A and B are shown apart, each in its own frame.
Chain A
Amino acid sequence: MDNKEDIQKFMLKKVADIDEFPQGAHNLRIDGKGVERVNSPNCEIVPKKDGSGIDIYIKAGAKNELVYIPVLIMQGGINDKVYNDFHIGKDSEVVIVAGCGIHNHTDHNTEHNGIHSFYIEENAKVTYVEKHYGHGQGLGKKTLSPVTNVYLQKGASMTMNSVQMEGVDYAVRTTNGELQEGATFVVTEKILTQKDQYADSIFDVKLFGKGASTKITSRAVAKEKSYQEFHSNVTGTCESFGHIECDAILMNDAKIIAIPQISALSADAHLIHEATIGKIAGAQLDKLLTMGLNEKQAEDFIIKGFLS
């Protein structure tokens, strides 16, 4: 796959799961520049005047809106930082597919830092999908360090699915949330690291409003000599509910440090954290061996399911 267009298509498929953009709003950024931008009747994408990113406006009451905003880096030696702000109107429902793919075939380091802030008005519902993928044989590091800030007004909700599958050498993923009354923030994160890759996930969610709730689920697989850290803090300041769950599979010489923290600042805050780190259970391997899979196939089967 030498053709630049083919690689772009391949990368787009990896990070946004599409062969081409469907009808509707989208913004494609390649190598630090916006190259394609389409609005829809309910979604307006406006470049920031200083060129630092885009503002995405979803009209109040919009339903079934689907927005793609992928980023591709196709060269080595690029350090791209972008600020994207999402203004989600009251009572709207939108699915936003973001994600970044780095193709670096050079020996120069490449980095993309997407700072995404979501201002979600009352009773709006957002599903946010973010996939990160690194590709290319060069020695240059592929770094992706996204920051996601989520501000949920009364009754609003956001479901965030964050995936880092392979090829990312260094990642610090930071997710911050502030929830008002009755707001819900559900995060599912899946991370696979291998070789000597490093990934750090940091969550800080504050439950400010009565009845606010969050569930953060992280599933991680660390292989070979890779290293992962998981930091999470959920703070409940009133009658609210928070649940952090970190499950990790450790293989070879990999290391994982999980530091879940819950801070109850009110007697009515109900907060739970669970963390499990361990190698693949021998009983699971035995079961699959008796089904005819060899050890490698059995491990792949378990990891694929765990991260699915």
Chain B
Amino acid sequence: MLKIENIQYKADNEEILQDVTFEFQKGKFYVITGHNGAGKSTLAKCLMGLYKCSGKIFLNGEDITNKSVDERANLGMGFAFQQPVTFKGVRVIDLLKIANKSYQDYENILRKVGLDPKEYLFRELNATLSGGELKRLELASVLSRDLKVGIFDEPEAGIDLWSFNNLSQVFSEFQNTERTTIVISHQERVMNLADEIIVMKDGKILKSGTRDEVLPTLNL
């Protein structure tokens, strides 16, 4: 489905990712975990094309290594940022409408992330929104698109307990689809949702396997 071969990424002469090779399977839910600085977010950004790395990336057999971010997005990849951005003058509906769905769909998506559409659909995506609200809206913007691969960089960070229960529900819906989900997380409760867990350390994959194989080895 999504295959990475020998991914390397350097910043300021420091190797952030070293020779990372892995194959993500269609319809599976992956959690990438590891300590801060292990290279998790960097790997996620390389997958989406936000960082230029060396090595090869294939999506459904197609070499997408040299494809731009928007080209990858239009091939069905999506990315939820750890720190959502704000836009002056842009309303939530404006952002969701990029996905070209119906109003009812947008309303349903907001409900799914625990936000009342009446209150949020026409609200400006600016700094008057709290960090938690912005995180949910970030998630909504990704969910609005028809994705083959969804990459979520610490989606649970900074949101309250709703939060987690609804998030679990959203992700559990993914498990019954053909969508591949890749979540960066430190949280055991997120790992409990995973089909497979990848543990990174010092820019490399330290181990990977099913949840039952990996989770007991993590000393959480």
A305 and B85 in contact, given A288-B98, A291-B95, A292-B70 (Cβ under 8 angstroms): no
Task: Judge whether B116 is part of the interface by a CB distance below 8 angstroms.
Answer: no
Least distance between A287 CB and chain B CB atoms (Å): 5
Determine chain B's interface SS by DSSP, over half rule: mixed
Total count of chain B residues near the partner, CB < 8 A: 25
A302 engages B95 (CB within 8 Å): no
A284 engages B69 (CB within 8 Å): no
A302 engages B87 (CB within 8 Å): yes
Expressed in whole angstroms, the Cα–Cα distance for A301 and B125 within the complex equals 13
Quick one: CB contact mask for A267-297 with B, threshold 8 Å, 1 for yes? 0000000000000010110111111111100
Q: Which of B13-21, B74-82, B171-179, B208-216 contacts A (4 or more CB under 8 A)?
A: B74-82
Least distance between B56 CB and chain A CB atoms (Å): 21
- Measured CB to CB, the nearest residue on chain A to B88 is A306
Expressed in whole angstroms, the Cα–Cα distance for A298 and B94 within the complex equals 12
Task: Judge whether A3 is part of the interface by a CB distance below 8 angstroms.
Answer: no
- Measured CB to CB, the nearest residue on chain B to A283 is B85
Contacts of A64 in B (CB 8 A): none
Task: Judge whether B53 is part of the interface by a CB distance below 8 angstroms.
Answer: no
B145 engages A291 (CB within 8 Å): yes
Other-chain contact of A284, B70, B78, B85, B91 (Cβ < 8 Å): B85
A305 engages B88 (CB within 8 Å): yes
Task: Judge whether A23 is part of the interface by a CB distance below 8 angstroms.
Answer: no
Task: Judge whether B99 is part of the interface by a CB distance below 8 angstroms.
Answer: yes
Quick one: CB contact mask for B139-159 with A, threshold 8 Å, 1 for yes? 001000100000000000000
B89 engages A292 (CB within 8 Å): no
A291 engages B99 (CB within 8 Å): yes
A294 engages B70 (CB within 8 Å): yes
- Measured CB to CB, the nearest residue on chain A to B85 is A283
B70 engages A289 (CB within 8 Å): yes
Task: Judge whether B48 is part of the interface by a CB distance below 8 angstroms.
Answer: yes
Least distance between A278 CB and chain B CB atoms (Å): 12
Task: Judge whether B50 is part of the interface by a CB distance below 8 angstroms.
Answer: yes
Other-chain contact of A219, B77, B88, B141 (Cβ < 8 Å): B88
Contacts of B90 in A (CB 8 A): 301-302, 305-306, 308
Task: Judge whether A200 is part of the interface by a CB distance below 8 angstroms.
Answer: no
Quick one: CB contact mask for A164-187 with B, threshold 8 Å, 1 for yes? 000000000000000000000000
Contacts of A302 in B (CB 8 A): 87, 90
Expressed in whole angstroms, the Cα–Cα distance for A262 and B91 within the complex equals 32
Least distance between B182 CB and chain A CB atoms (Å): 14
Other-chain contact of A305, B77, B83, B87, B99 (Cβ < 8 Å): B87
A306 engages B99 (CB within 8 Å): no
Contacts of B50 in A (CB 8 A): 286, 290
Expressed in whole angstroms, the Cα–Cα distance for A32 and B84 within the complex equals 51
Expressed in whole angstroms, the Cα–Cα distance for A150 and B50 within the complex equals 50
Contacts of B48 in A (CB 8 A): 290
Expressed in whole angstroms, the Cα–Cα distance for A219 and B50 within the complex equals 29
Quick one: CB contact mask for B52-83 with A, threshold 8 Å, 1 for yes? 00000000000000001110011001110101
Expressed in whole angstroms, the Cα–Cα distance for A284 and B69 within the complex equals 13
A291 engages B73 (CB within 8 Å): yes
- Measured CB to CB, the nearest residue on chain A to B99 is A291
Quick one: CB contact mask for A41-58 with B, threshold 8 Å, 1 for yes? 000000000000000000
Contacts of A189 in B (CB 8 A): none
- Measured CB to CB, the nearest residue on chain A to B49 is A289
Expressed in whole angstroms, the Cα–Cα distance for A269 and B98 within the complex equals 45
- Measured CB to CB, the nearest residue on chain A to B144 is A291
Expressed in whole angstroms, the Cα–Cα distance for A246 and B21 within the complex equals 49
Contacts of B88 in A (CB 8 A): 219, 247, 305-306
Least distance between B89 CB and chain A CB atoms (Å): 4
Least distance between B148 CB and chain A CB atoms (Å): 13
Task: Judge whether A307 is part of the interface by a CB distance below 8 angstroms.
Answer: yes
Additional A-B contacts beyond A286-B50, A295-B70 (20; CB < 8 A) = A247-B88, A283-B81, A286-B69, A286-B85, A287-B81, A287-B84, A287-B85, A290-B73, A290-B78, A290-B79, A290-B81, A291-B98, A292-B73, A293-B70, A294-B70, A301-B90, A301-B94, A302-B90, A306-B88, A306-B89
24 A-B pairs within 8 Å (CB atoms) are namely A219-B88, A219-B89, A281-B85, A283-B83, A284-B85, A286-B50, A286-B69, A286-B81, A287-B81, A289-B68, A289-B70, A289-B73, A290-B48, A290-B50, A290-B69, A290-B77, A291-B78, A291-B99, A291-B141, A293-B70, A295-B70, A301-B98, A305-B94, A306-B88
Which 7 interchain pairs have the tightest Cβ spacing?
Answer: A305-B90, A305-B89, A289-B69, A292-B73, A290-B79, A283-B85, A289-B70
A binding-site residues for B, Cβ under 8 Å = 219, 247, 281, 283-284, 286-295, 298, 301-302, 304-308
B binding-site residues for A, Cβ under 8 Å = 48, 50, 68-70, 73-74, 77-79, 81, 83-85, 87-91, 94-95, 98-99, 141, 145
